[in-house]
Structure 1
Amino acid sequence: MDRRVPIDVEERIRQRKLKEAAAAKPRFIPKKERERMATEKKAKEEQELKSSAPAAIPKPRSTTYRNGTVNRTPAAIPTGPKAMRHDHDRLHRDREPARAPRKAGRADERNKKRSYDEMEAEEIRLRYLGPRKDQSTFTTRKKKKNKDKFNFDWDPSEDTSRPEDKDGGRTAEPLDDVERTKQLIAEKRAFAATIKQKDPENGALRARQVLEWADMRERYLNRKSGGKKWSDKSLDEMKERDWRIFKENFGIATKGGAIPNPMRSWEESDLPPKILDTISHVGYKEPTPIQRAAIPIALQARDLIGVAVTGSGKTAAFLLPLLVYISDLPSLTEVSKNDGPYALILAPTRELVQQIEAEARRFATPLGFTCVSIVGGHSLEEQAFALRNGAEIIVATPGRLVDCIERRLLVLEQCCYIIMDEADRMIDLGFEESVNKILDALPVTNEKPDTEEAEDSRLMSRQLSFKDKYRQTMMYTATMPPLVEKIAKKYLRRPATVMIGNAGEAVETVEQRVEFVAGEDKRKKRLHEILASDHYQPPIIVFVNIKRNCEMVARDIKRMGFSTVTLHSDKTQDQREAALASLRQGHINVLVATDLAGRGIDVPDVSLVVNFNMAPSIEAYTHRIGRTGRAGKSGVAITFLGTEDKKVLYDLKQMLSKSSISKVPEDLKRHPDAMQRYVPGGGNKRDEGGGGGFNKGGKGGW
């Protein structure tokens, strides 16, 4: 017999609570199910919308009259004031399309779709990991809030003024329209003269009105442009402001007492006509900045220190005043030629000496002066024979000149004009003692006084005797290290200082590029790509740090199919001269050299300089890249960097950042060794190896 178990109330309550809890929890709905439910909901809403819509309004009847007009009158619309009062609004409301019901907000839909577990997981992630950085928090509500802020600036669209109302009724002249305005003023003046000529009775008044307009326009133009430009003024019209602008345009800075103004052109200089003819014959059209500033000072018999970047025309800057100085002295005779030269030029390297000698002969030979060079590598007997015939100008290296003085082959009894070119380089090469011996061998009877009289050009230009004048000393350099300042302080008297640009910086005509290329093989491959690109026309100079690499790199370049020649200290003087001559004459495409060719070597039209090894110092790097971009022409310098170059990376980055046409690459900008300057013996550890770098001590092996 079956017994029915009584209903357990507690169990029924518990099951009921479980069902309610399960119903309260959000359940997961598949995507297809959600799409089906949305479709059904939308169809249901459309059905309800149709069932609640009012009855359709019948179409109006059309009546056509004889004159062709058509009268459309609604058939079911009652007329009269009552109908108009009660049904007119209903009629227009029924004709409007029904609006769709307002959709739920995006936030509500997003919250409905997200389950409770997802929201809880998001809260936990937000608590321990913080807000997401890969998601934007921008909302349109923030944008609208910012839009409500008051803007204190004018909107350009709100400007209702006319162009002619600006600046007191006068429109500012664009820079491109200055010449056109000047031409218009000239035409108005010519028109006024024509009016006065054709209409003698009434033309005077009209002409005066036109001239008043032209005068007013010219005054306004001069006021807006600050008056005439210095190039449009004569020397008498130049004012202090014009000279200041002139110096700023050419980067000229001077100091040292009463200094004359720079020369604006060769014609306005105080050079004799014969020298000006020679300048025109040589082809110097416009003076360089160092020539503009240094020549007027040197012509006043002032001692001078010239600081200028390499390739700035310093040779002609000291040669031309030197020739003027010698022209005032008596010609050499059989007796006086044994007393030595009138002028002495010192240079650090043989190549630079011979280059100065060649330039000096271009100007001295038409004037009847003799120039002789004294360098090592040539026979001393030949140089002694050349000195025996006498010479007004001697160009020499310090070491060989000291040998000639000690062997009594040369005396300096009447030498009173001294020029030291590349003085900082002479000190770097260890010629300080030799320079002091040479300067001590000069006569002391014509030394300038170390007083304010040394700044008086009238006193310093006078003749002390028949053939003696005050000694004039000039020093040209690219940098001013302490040893150079010591020599200048000892032998120069109240010198004037001329600085062109910033000392130690590369010229603005050279585009500097740097690449991190580690290892000899990779550098040779990259060098082959550069030379084979046909972007650079010969001559091209490739710099290395040691002599052994010089021959190896030259051999690889020959295998690439380019004609090449080397230049380093193991070469004889004849071989050095032949190498430079072949490069200048176009017989050779590429010169591979050490820092021996880094200073003073002038090879015209060098389009590219490649630093196969980075120079051991930023000064040497500056002089290397100065072999291109000379005489105002443009050039490119490409430098390969490696791990051995860490001590120059900071200075290199600074130099690139100061150049207006060069760009600092990201590798160099972010390099840790480029963040601070290298300090020997400091926290930075010196790296001597890798990449075919330089030898210890950074001398370059030349």
Structure 2
Amino acid sequence: MSFASLGLNAQLVQAINECGYTEPTPIQTQAIPLVLKGGDLLAGAQTGTGKTAGFGLPMLQRLSETKATPLRNGRAPVRALVLTPTRELAAQVEENIRAYAKHSGLRTLAMFGGVSINPQMKALGGKIDVVVATPGRLLDHVSQRSIDLSRIEMLVLDEADRMLDMGFIRDIQRIIAKMPPKRQNLLFSATFSNEIKKLAESLLTNPEHIEVAKRNATADTIAQRFYGVDKNRKRALLSYLIGHHNWQQVLVFTRTKHGANRLAMQLDKDGLPAMAIHGDKSQGARTRALSQFKSGKLRVLVATDIAARGIDISELPHVVNFELPHVAEDYVHRIGRTGRAGVKGEAMSLVCFAEKPLLKAIERVTKQSIELEILPGFEPLPDSEQPPIEKPAAKRGRGNSGSRGQNSGRGHAGRNSNPRSANNKAPRSNKSPRRSDS
């Protein structure tokens, strides 16, 4: 099957070919014809399935087929809105849609916090058809009247489950209230919790429903390995694996921001160029680290779960869980950074004695039996000699508040600010938390 056979026009097909796409993925095959029909859509898709093109291509075609009536001040209205949970994902999605729109004459804009709002406001003074935004920064623009949502024709909620996890429900409701009731709505989610079903019922009208992969299933293109090791020898094992196998591009996940900083410094001292990326880093620092990692100048990128659904690196070969996530579903999202678009990848997990309950949870979620490998020279102590499992940290508040300039005052800085994260297990509520825009 070709993209042209899905009903896309010549300009979009030309742009797709220039992007190097050869044939549509399953989510694209199912979603594109349905979106072109103009109805609402509820789609279940894991990361790495090509869903951005699944909604971006038909969205651009529908916008190119009609012309919008200018606003009263003569400005062209923003006609399509894509909401994403994190800055990195917003930048990635906008970059892709901009590439698809190359020959269509449609203009796009990425809108997120952590950077100055002024260039975004200046861009909105011209013709912008598609905005890709994090909820917090978008509401900043709404409050300053630099954007008008009254002419939105299409709304996309990308990674909707993550947005709800991060406490964005009130912001999403406020944004929806600013839009016209008649519009096309597309909701993409990797999981379908009760909260997602409730949101879908309130947002979508007679939606089509597609799901391209079993929930919480890991991709067949990812080779998974699990190594048993003492906690205090994890860094030595990681350095050995990278050096012994001569890995040149490795994404490493930790549970905390402090742990990411410390590990990056240690790896750098081991002669392995490394940088950390997480919510406490400025947007400029995050962008520089990601850019150097993508270009191959940086060998190791150490990240918290903020990156699990926001980093899209073509043919990333290796992902390492330096620490297992406290939420088992996050394991699937983490390793989903490799093995994308049919390309094979490897995912390694370093498991200490205290993490064995987390390993059992991953087995239950992924429905697979996991065997720990032991590398010579890194044999862990017998279980009877292991230190006791540390008690969970005391409950804390909802994370970083940030300031309304640099961080825009909205949006969690990352999963470590999430109420479900390791050190902050307070139950979710309908209150809008204080945030530092993702």
- TM-score category (smaller protein): 0.7 to 0.9
* TM-score (normalizing by structure 1): 0.53
In structure 2, relative to structure 1, the CA distance for the partners of 1:655 and 1:370 (3 Å cut) is: same
User: Following the alignment from structure 1 to structure 2, what is the Cα–Cα distance between the partners of residues 266 and 301?
Assistant: 18
* TM-score (normalizing by structure 2): 0.83
Tell whether 2:261 aligns with 1:551: yes
Q: Structure 1: which amino acid aligns with 2:421?
A: K
In structure 2, relative to structure 1, the CA distance for the partners of 1:481 and 1:655 (3 Å cut) is: closer
Deviations along 1:487-537, one digit per CA (max 9) or x if unpaired, are 1100100111111120122111111111222323x101111110111253x
Q: Structure 1: which amino acid aligns with 2:204?
A: L
Of the three residues 115, 120, 123, the one matched with 1:383 is 120
Tell whether 2:262 aligns with 1:562: no
Matches of residues 48-59 of structure 1 in structure 2 within 5 Å? none
Matches of residues 436-585 of structure 1 in structure 2 within 5 Å? 436-444=173-181, 446=182, 471-520=183-232, 522-534=233-245, 536=247, 538-585=248-295
Hey, what does 1:665 align to over in structure 2? 371
Report if the CA contact (8 A) 1:688-1:695 is conserved.
no
Of the three residues 386, 401, 405, the one matched with 2:138 is 401
Deviations along 1:17-69, one digit per CA (max 9) or x if unpaired, are xxxxxxxxxxxxxxxxxxxxxxxxxxxxxxxxxxxxxxxxxxxxxxxxxxxxx
Where 2:200 maps in the other structure, the secondary structure is helix
Q: Structure 1: which amino acid aligns with 2:243?
A: A
- Following TM superposition, by how much is the alpha carbon of 1:656 offset from its aligned partner in structure 2, in angstroms? 5.8
Uncovered stretches (5+) of structure 2, i.e. residues with no partner = 375-388, 394-415, 424-437
Q: Structure 1: which amino acid aligns with 2:99?
A: R
Matches of residues 189-588 of structure 1 in structure 2 within 5 Å? 264-330=1-67, 338=75, 340-444=77-181, 446=182, 471-520=183-232, 522-534=233-245, 536=247, 538-588=248-298
Q: Structure 1: which amino acid aligns with 2:162?
A: R
Deviations along 1:292-339, one digit per CA (max 9) or x if unpaired, are 111111111121111112101011100001011101221675857646
In structure 2, relative to structure 1, the CA distance for the partners of 1:333 and 1:436 (3 Å cut) is: closer
Where 1:631 maps in the other structure, the secondary structure is helix
User: Following the alignment from structure 1 to structure 2, what is the Cα–Cα distance between the partners of residues 610 and 534?
Assistant: 13
Of the three residues 597, 611, 615, the one matched with 2:307 is 597
Deviations along 1:455-513, one digit per CA (max 9) or x if unpaired, are xxxxxxxxxxxxxxxx1100111001111111110010011111112012211111111
Report if the CA contact (8 A) 1:647-1:686 is conserved.
no
Q: Structure 2: which amino acid aligns with 1:625?
A: I
Report if the CA contact (8 A) 2:12-2:101 is conserved.
no
Where 1:366 maps in the other structure, the secondary structure is coil
Q: Structure 1: which amino acid aligns with 2:160?
A: A
Percent identity between matched residues is: 32
Uncovered stretches (5+) of structure 1, i.e. residues with no partner = 1-263, 447-470, 669-684
Q: Structure 1: which amino acid aligns with 2:268?
A: K
- Following TM superposition, by how much is the alpha carbon of 1:359 offset from its aligned partner in structure 2, in angstroms? 0.6
Report if the CA contact (8 A) 1:568-1:594 is conserved.
yes
- Following TM superposition, by how much is the alpha carbon of 1:649 offset from its aligned partner in structure 2, in angstroms? 2.7
Report if the CA contact (8 A) 2:41-2:185 is conserved.
yes
Hey, what does 1:609 align to over in structure 2? 319
Q: Structure 1: which amino acid aligns with 2:392?
A: E
Of the three residues 624, 631, 635, the one matched with 2:334 is 624
- Following TM superposition, by how much is the alpha carbon of 1:276 offset from its aligned partner in structure 2, in angstroms? 1.3
User: Following the alignment from structure 1 to structure 2, what is the Cα–Cα distance between the partners of residues 380 and 437?
Assistant: 20
Q: Structure 1: which amino acid aligns with 2:193?
A: P
Where 2:48 maps in the other structure, the secondary structure is coil
User: Following the alignment from structure 1 to structure 2, what is the Cα–Cα distance between the partners of residues 504 and 337?
Assistant: 48
- Following TM superposition, by how much is the alpha carbon of 1:274 offset from its aligned partner in structure 2, in angstroms? 1.7
- Following TM superposition, by how much is the alpha carbon of 1:650 offset from its aligned partner in structure 2, in angstroms? 2.6
Matches of residues 617-656 of structure 1 in structure 2 within 5 Å? 617-654=327-364
- Following TM superposition, by how much is the alpha carbon of 1:390 offset from its aligned partner in structure 2, in angstroms? 2.8
- Following TM superposition, by how much is the alpha carbon of 1:443 offset from its aligned partner in structure 2, in angstroms? 1.1
Hey, what does 2:428 align to over in structure 1? none
Q: Structure 2: which amino acid aligns with 1:486?
A: K
Where 2:279 maps in the other structure, the secondary structure is coil
Greater helix proportion: 1
Q: Structure 1: which amino acid aligns with 2:370?
A: V
User: Following the alignment from structure 2 to structure 1, what is the Cα–Cα distance between the partners of residues 259 and 360?
Assistant: 26
Q: Structure 2: which amino acid aligns with 1:665?
A: E
